[in-house]
Structure 1
Amino acid sequence: MTDTAVLPAVSSPPPPATRARGVLRQLGVDTAYSLVSFPVAIAAFVLVVTGLAVGTGLLVIWVGVAVLAATLVAARGLAAVERSWLPGVLDRPVPRPAYTPAEGRAVRRLTTPLRDPQCWLDALHAVLRFPFAILSFVVTVTFWAVALGGITYGLWDWSLPDASADPDNTDLLELLGFQSTSGRRILFYTAIGLLFAVVLPFVVRGAALLQAQLGRALLTSRAATQAELGRLAEGRDAAVAAEAVALRRLERDIHDGPQQHLVRLGMDLSRAQRQLDRDPDAARETLGEAAVLAKEALEELRALSRGIAPPVLADRGLAAALAAVAARSPVPVELSVDLPEERLAPAVENTAYFVVSEALANAAKHSGASTCRVVVVAAGPALRVTVEDDGRGGAVLAPGHGLAGLADRLRAVDGVLTVDSPRGGPTRLVAELPCGS
């Protein structure tokens, strides 16, 4: 079977009308953000600075603790408002950090905001945001006023005092050394208005982004760290769960298989020892049965060891280990391995080996396949393992199924397992894991 590469469709650029609507929409969002956030920034600055000052001054009589807690709760609410505005300005989703939950007795619940680092970051944002909000508001209002006033200057030039009637009344043209007439003024100020209108989206965008980036740094930075810690915790839990399941299954299989054969083997050897003098023929027959039991026990132990990294993997690398797995598979395997010269990380090699061995074992047991294809490729920073068979299909990646253990092992090393197995086949398992894990 040959894989066919599918080239991504080349998307054509959006038409000018669509781009213009996008620019105007973003200009409206940035303008609204700069204008609306200005009074909110004033209120936040006054509230937080006043609350922190009063709360700090009252700490000596313990009332300050409640004042500081209330101030931080208010800063948290104002930060939530800012976070709701950031996605529109930054044009991408913004993660929300997890706050420390209020637990315990009344005093401990009261001091929860004081022990939450994010609440202090919210208060810091309320203080540092104030000058950025002023700058954003002034720039936005100024550029909008000059652009609109210049473009519409011809409509209200008649209402201005005549410079010739008052020597002290001079306009910009006269200050620049030009003779000022009505026509020249209209042309000059209209040109200035058009120039400001052209640069208006970029200037307003820059002012809004300057303020929004401060909010992103202070209000969402811990959310990314918390998400990464949560992901690592999930990977650790998945690894522990996968190892626990594998250990229980190995213990059960050893107890039900090789252990029973070895007990029976010991009994047969004892019986043959007793029969050796009085009935040599019976002893030879018993020893033959014992040899069969020893062979069966050895085969079962080899089958159970497929989930354990073999010595060839540590000594000769992943390619040699996969070749050994493919050679002893009951289903014929077409193996293709493309790996770099340097060895991969041990966790990556062990996981890839386990994925291939388990997938081939499942195919031999459940799929009814006549052939399997294994492709292992190190493409850039990721290792891609593909196992495909021509069996009956129907494999699902769900809790309680065998593939769930593979998914847990991959998640422990930041990997992902994808299963495509329609009814009637074929079944295709794709595991992707970072090479540097």
Structure 2
Amino acid sequence: MLTKALKDRRYLLTSWPWRSLLHLTVTAVIAAPVAAGFWTLLLPWMVAVRDVSEGRGPQPAVLVLMLLAAVLLVTCGPVVALPLAALERRRLGLIDERPLTGPHRPLAASPVTWLVSRYREESTWRAVLYAALLGLLAPPFWFGVAVLFVFELVLLLSPGLTEWQFGTYVINGGIGSVPFVLLGIVLAPILLYLAGVLAAAHGALARRLLGGGDGLRDRLTEVAQSRARLADAFDAERRRIERDLHDGAQHRLTSLTLQLGMARLDLPDDSPAAEPLGRAHNQAKELMVVLRDLVHGIRPQTLGDLGLPAALRELAGNSPVPVTVDATEITGRLPERIETTAYFVAAEALTNVVKHAHATTVQVRLLRAGDGIALEVLDDGRGGADPARGTGLTGLADRVAAAGGKLLLASPAGGPTLLRVEL
């Protein structure tokens, strides 16, 4: 690796200086067409800046060219930058032996789909930024480097030159050029180190902008989006199950209970079938209660009909621990995912309070928090809530994260416990 080689005292005796020179030379060749195109697009903007600095507005033709240049940069920039980035990643092996994988995921799709997907990736625009920096900085930067090395070459070959001028001195070659040869010999190691530093800096920039780190960010974003889609699919399946149970099984069970009740009325009390029929009728009624609670637990009807504040008040009314609800800051309906997530967080939190906290009162508050909402559940229990002990807090955090929110917990030993969810 070039960076480590520069710290080695034997750097000048290795191949790294010449690899650096080769890398810089090839970079200049690659940067030439990129710079030509980039500076051509910048030309109308430079004219506009000149006009503004002189106190007059840009001409209409200049404005049109500025807009055209911006459109071409946005639309055609990735088309140029992506193959350039692939070439630079391969060429980086000349000065850095660590492999640099591309940040883009392979897509088995049509060219149009492939291009659209690439335009949506952050790594693509990092490649565009790399190409812009290469086109902007390469011409003046590499021109200065070339001048230095030409000057070094002239110093070393000065005895063979018939006549050349160095400042105010006119050198006729021969013995009079010996001091300049010595100066060239002294400067040679400095220029070789300079070449190594420049190549290492360029390699670091290429690795930063063209490597897989931002691809990881793209993948993490995709994972977060896929997790949100899974959560939505889970909620949709939950609603389907609730609807099937409510419209199908519950209605049939209700009909069965009514028929058993009618048969029980028509059957004499001294009939041998009266007692078994009575037990079946009672079990059917108990099963109706169980099924109603099951349907309510899957998705409460109040949440769908009246919204989150009403559903929280209903939840508080069914809790064995006294619960007060404050939702005065929330008016109107919230997005379905937000309502569903907040409701089940509150339900799980109240369940935890009943099972573990030994609290006497609970406060549930629904607040505005910037562009979103915050749900707070505060109890006066014994505290010490720990997600590692399996109190359902890890599952709550996962559910909240899937909805794009965050969960905060404060539960010192002795209480109180505050659970805050921001969505």
Task: Give the structure-1-normalised TM-score.
Answer: 0.46
Using the size of structure 2 for normalisation, the TM-score is: 0.48
